């Protein structure tokens, strides 16, 4: 293929990825929706499942396709708009959150004795440290005084990265020496913000340990220390997952949720809709509320998760 042909192909592929899910479904599976309305088209349903898998719905793709097939067999969908409305309603059903009545972007900081303590969990590389800074900026904008704690003491440069964010935001950052006990850093940070009268501390926890014992044991210790040093802590335990890594994100979520109490998920790196099914999949299979979605690298690129707005953006067109 010559250079011009390759360029045209790449352009077409880019447009395909940027098209909303509904547009992709219509282009591949629902070329003539009227045909689908007259009965079950097995080939079209297979194409539906393929598009959903490509959009990172994972196992939810099969479930959604089977539900669609049942609706078609029962003759409940008789127009293109009815089909689209059904798809939107079903995705909203999957994303529904009745956990504690809080809005997606509302953070609980506790009341009474001690500062609010927010713990952020996640493996290295998911954008956890950047998310710490984004949440700090959000709290600042709401009038909450905040400090950061670098309890990821085993990753080279982690403390320096967090300290740089703290300097940009103009907030204190508490660090320990390389390889220090993460729980000890958390203890010292909580005591320091208590003494200063700071409203909240956000703790960046370790995402990987090498020769210093089991990661989950270390994180459980951080949780115990937080609980002892501030009433009701940790007030939030947010799990940061990379929305572009599919099955790996799901496995990470299950691993962390089994080890430490998680109050919500932050899905990062979703600056488009090509892989938006990951959000549906994580909510469905982890049964944890999605609190925020990260859409870029800047400090303001953090949005409270709005399921209706998300589904409409995901569907597009």
pLDDT digits (tens, 9 = 90+) for 167-202: 999 999 999 887 788 999 999 999 999 999 999 999
Helix 59-73, helix 42-54: angle, nearest 10? 150
Q: Please say if the pLDDT value at position 294 is more than 80.
A: yes
The sign one gets for the Cα dihedral 170, 171, 176, 181 is: negative
Homologous superfamily of 116-305 in CATH?
A: P-loop containing nucleotide triphosphate hydrolases (3.40.50.300)
CA gyration radius for the chain?
22
The pLDDT assigned to 100 comes to: 57
The stretch 234-244 carries a mean pLDDT of: 93
HEC readout, 161-213: HHHHHHHHHCCCEEECCCCCCHHHHHHHHHHHHHHHCCCEEEEECCCCCCCCC
The stretch 23-27 carries a mean pLDDT of: 87
The stretch 281-302 carries a mean pLDDT of: 90
Give the other-Cβ count within 10 Å of 118's Cβ.
28
- Pair 186, 204: CB distance under 8 Å: no
Pairing, β 290-294 against β 302-304 = antiparallel
Q: What is the mean pLDDT of the chain?
A: 85
- Give the pLDDT band of residue 273 (cuts 50, 70, 90): low
The more confident residue out of 70 and 33 is 70
The pLDDT assigned to 96 comes to: 87
* Strands annotated E in the chain: 116-121, 146-150, 173-175, 200-204, 236-242, 264-268, 290-294, 302-304
Q: Please say if the pLDDT value at position 13 is more than 80.
A: no
**Can you tell me the distance from the alpha carbon of 13 to that of 24, in angstroms, rounded to the nearest whole number?**
12
The stretch 146-161 carries a mean pLDDT of: 90
- Which secondary-structure segment (H or E) carries 158? helix 158-169
The pLDDT assigned to 176 comes to: 84
- Pair 121, 238: CB distance under 8 Å: yes
Surface-to-core class of residue 314, CB atoms within 10 Å of its CB (0-12 exposed, 13-18 middle, 19+ buried): buried
- Give the pLDDT band of residue 34 (cuts 50, 70, 90): low
Tokens, residue 179: 């390889």
Q: Please say if the pLDDT value at position 79 is more than 70.
A: yes
Sheet containing strand 146-150, strands side by side = 173-175, 146-150, 200-204, 116-121, 236-242, 264-268, 290-294, 302-304
Surface-to-core class of residue 259, CB atoms within 10 Å of its CB (0-12 exposed, 13-18 middle, 19+ buried): middle
Is the bond preceding 184 in cis, omega lying within 30 degrees of 0? no
Global pTM value? 0.86
Pairing, β 264-268 against β 236-242 = parallel
- Give the pLDDT band of residue 227 (cuts 50, 70, 90): very high
Give the other-Cβ count within 10 Å of 199's Cβ.
17
Summarised one tens digit per residue, pLDDT across range 35-50 is 666 666 788 889 899 9
Summarised one tens digit per residue, pLDDT across range 46-62 is 989 999 999 999 999 99
Summarised one tens digit per residue, pLDDT across range 81-114 is 888 999 999 999 999 875 556 667 889 887 767 8
The pLDDT assigned to 7 comes to: 34
């Amino acid at each position: 293929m010559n250079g011009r042909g390759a360029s045209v192909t790449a352009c077409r592929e880019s447009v395909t990825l940027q098209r909303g899910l509904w547009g992709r479904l219509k282009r591949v599976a629902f070329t003539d929706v009227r045909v689908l309305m007259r009965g079950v088209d097995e080939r079209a349903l297979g194409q539906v499942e393929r598009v959903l898998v490509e959009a990172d719905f994972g196992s939810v793709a099969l479930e959604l396709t089977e539900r669609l097939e049942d609706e078609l067999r029962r003759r409940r969908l008789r127009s293109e708009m009815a089909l689209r409305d059904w798809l939107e309603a079903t995705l909203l059903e999957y994303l529904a959150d009745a956990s504690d009545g809080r809005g997606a972007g509302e953070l609980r900081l506790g009341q009474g004795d001690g500062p609010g303590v927010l713990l952020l969990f996640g493996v290295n590389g998911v954008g956890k440290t950047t998310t710490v800074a984004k949440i700090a900026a959000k709290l600042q904008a709401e009038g909450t005084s905040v400090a950061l704690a670098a309890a990821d003491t085993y990753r080279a440069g982690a403390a320096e990265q967090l300290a740089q964010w703290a300097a940009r935001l103009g907030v204190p950052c508490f660090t320990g020496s390389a390889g220090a006990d993460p729980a000890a850093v958390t203890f010292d940070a909580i005591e320091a913000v208590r003494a200063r009268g700071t409203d909240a501390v956000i703790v960046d926890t370790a995402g990987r340990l090498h020769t210093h014992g089991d990661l989950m044991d270390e994180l459980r210790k951080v949780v115990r220390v937080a609980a002892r040093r501030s009433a009701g802590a940790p007030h939030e335990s947010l799990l940061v997952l990379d929305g572009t890594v599919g099955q790996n994100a799901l496995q990470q979520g299950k691993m962390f949720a089994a080890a430490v109490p998680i109050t919500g998920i932050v899905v990062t790196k979703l600056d488009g809709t090509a892989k938006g099914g990951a959000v549906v999949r994580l909510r469905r299979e982890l049964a944890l509320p999605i609190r925020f979605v990260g859409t870029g690298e800047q400090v303001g690129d953090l949005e409270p998760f709005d399921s209706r707005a998300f589904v409409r953006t995901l569907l597009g067109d």
